[in-house]
Amino acid sequence: MNINRRVQTLDEFTIQQMRDFPQATGELAGLLRDIGLAAKRVNVEVNKAGLVDILGDAGGINVQGEEVKKMDIFANNQFMGVLRHGISCAGIGSEELDDIVVFNDEVSNNSKYVCLFDPLDGSSNIDVNVSIGTIFSVFKRVSPLGQPATAEDFLQPGRRQVAAGYIIYGSSTILVYGTRRGVNGFTLDPSIGEFSLSHPNITCPETGKFYSVNHGNFFQYADGVKKYIDGCQKKTKADGGPYTQRYIGSMVADVHRNLIKGGIFMYPGTTDKPNGKLRLMYECNPFAFILELSGGKATDGSISILDIVPASLHQRTPFFAGSRKMMDELEIFMKPA
Ligand code: AHG
């Protein structure tokens, strides 16, 4: 096999970007390195998930007499741990924690960034070997340096993100992140244990053939959404069809596929849950940031996800995201009459 050893690792890439930007302090590069490290640790455990019954049930005691943590708690602790001990992050918000955690030590109080994450999205899929992922969002603080971070540092509209990304623990492990300078993907090379640049300058195709939605909720969707889905099923060759329905139930995998191949992902509100299921701050904002950077779109059905002013850490929002032309068509169906 011809192995390309000149491919850039995540660290080399972020350092290279810093060299191109002499005023950069390196804090963001450090933060991404920390996230990459936690992702590698989580990846090792996710890969062993099928052995849980042999080594001991999650929440129980394994054969070595150690307590086995649920995988999403384990992932949360890994991400929180590296960020707490790094030099770039003043505090975190996580799906696994009721409230923000402000690190409040001398180094962290002088750190520029705060980070929000869903440590293991799609975790109900672990038992059946389906891809799962981590999603993260990074904001620059608005509170003065030298003091502990505050809630206002976290509750900023998504458009103010300075970086966002996700990791998929799938057939391979891939980390994708975006900054104002573009979106790039890094695949974990197990032979050297490093994320290596595999998807430079990702752009979302203008249109595609995939639509991803939970059809089980169909009769609870608004009329515009139903009509759009109906239209997806009726696409002919002349309209760029036929479309294919793909829904994994792990948004990292569904949105990643549509980002790379072209498509649309929808988690609309339902009559039971008008705001849908997905969380604005650490599920929708990061994907919306990446999609807009790469030429796609993401809305709540009326405005860009990135323009929503958050009211609380765990708030939910309907979510529609994907290729620009497919989103434009959806918007026509969803316009109030
Ligand atoms: P969880 O982390 O509880 O498994 O939820 C996963 C999220 C998201 O990744 C996915 O797209 C969506 O929930 C699936 O929800 P439905 O089963 O309601 O379609």
CATH number at residue 276: 3.40.190.80
CA distances from 337 to 66, 305, 318, 331 (A): 60, 22, 19, 12
Atom number, ligand 1, closest to the C-alpha of residue 132: 9
The counts of H helices and E strands in the chain are 10, 13
User: How would you class 326 by CB atoms within 10 Å of its CB: exposed for 0-12, middle for 13-18, buried for 19 or more?
Assistant: buried
Q: Which of 124, 248, 257 most suits a substitution to test ligand 1, by most atoms within 8 Å of the C-beta?
A: 124
Q: Among the three residues 148, 168, 199, which one is the final residue of a domain in this structure? A: 199
CA distances from 106 to 90, 148, 152, 154, 179 (A): 10, 9, 20, 20, 27
CA 149 – ligand 1 centroid, Å = 30
Alpha-carbon gap, residue 234 to 288, rounded angstroms: 28
100, 185: one domain: yes
CA 267 – ligand 1 centroid, Å = 9
95, 165: one domain: yes
Q: Is residue 116 part of a domain?
A: yes
Q: Is residue 285 part of a domain?
A: yes
Q: Among the three residues 140, 169, 199, which one is the final residue of a domain in this structure? A: 199
CA 85 – ligand 1 centroid, Å = 31
Q: Among the three residues 152, 178, 199, which one is the final residue of a domain in this structure? A: 199
Q: Is residue 317 part of a domain?
A: yes
Looking at ligand 1, which residue's alpha carbon is closest to its atom 6? 122
Per-residue pLDDT at 1 = 52
CA 124 – ligand 1 centroid, Å = 8
Q: Which domain holds residue 255?
A: 210-334
Atom number, ligand 1, closest to the C-alpha of residue 121: 2
Whether residue 293 contacts residue 172, with contact meaning beta carbons closer than 8 Å, is answered with no
Whether residue 191 contacts residue 244, with contact meaning beta carbons closer than 8 Å, is answered with no
Q: Is residue 60 part of a domain?
A: yes
Q: Which of 71, 245, 251, 257 most suits a substitution to test ligand 1, by most atoms within 8 Å of the C-beta?
A: 251
238, 145: one domain: no
257, 308: one domain: yes
Looking at residue 149, its amino acid is A
For the entire predicted model, the pTM comes to 0.94
44, 169: one domain: yes
164, 80: one domain: yes
171, 215: one domain: no
Summarize pLDDT for 206-248 with one digit per residue, the tens. Answer: 999 999 999 999 999 999 999 999 999 999 998 888 899 999 9
217, 166: one domain: no
CA 136 – ligand 1 centroid, Å = 16
Q: Is residue 31 part of a domain?
A: yes
105, 242: one domain: no
Alpha-carbon gap, residue 193 to 125, rounded angstroms: 25
Looking at ligand 1, which residue's alpha carbon is closest to its atom 4? 122
DSSP state of 283: I
Summarize pLDDT for 138-156 with one digit per residue, the tens. Answer: 999 999 999 999 999 999 9
For residue 95, what is the domain's CATH number? 3.30.540.10
139, 259: one domain: no
Looking at ligand 1, which residue's alpha carbon is closest to its atom 12? 249
Per-residue pLDDT at 56 = 45
Per-residue pLDDT at 241 = 87
Q: Is residue 4 part of a domain?
A: no
Here the tokens at position 337 are: 């009459």
Atom number, ligand 1, closest to the C-alpha of residue 133: 9
The string of DSSP codes covering 296-327 is -EEESSSSBGGG---SSTT-B--EEEE-HHHH
Atom number, ligand 1, closest to the C-alpha of residue 265: 11
pLDDT tens for the chain, 337 residues: list them: 555 567 899 999 998 888 888 788 889 999 999 999 999 999 998 888 766 654 445 665 555 555 556 888 899 999 999 999 999 999 999 999 999 999 999 999 999 999 999 999 988 788 788 899 999 999 999 999 999 999 999 999 999 999 999 999 999 999 999 999 999 999 999 999 999 999 999 999 999 999 999 999 999 999 999 999 999 999 999 888 889 999 999 999 999 999 999 999 999 999 999 999 999 999 999 999 999 999 999 999 999 999 999 999 999 999 999 999 999 999 999 987 7
Q: Find all residues with CB under 8 Å of 315, minimum gap 6, and list them.
A: 275, 279, 280, 281
Q: Is residue 163 part of a domain?
A: yes
CA 145 – ligand 1 centroid, Å = 37
Q: Is residue 35 part of a domain?
A: yes
Looking at ligand 1, which residue's alpha carbon is closest to its atom 14? 249
282, 158: one domain: no
Per-residue pLDDT at 59 = 62
Per-residue pLDDT at 64 = 54
Residues with CB under 6 A from ligand 1: 121-124, 214, 249-251, 254, 277
Number of domains in the chain: 2
181, 226: one domain: no
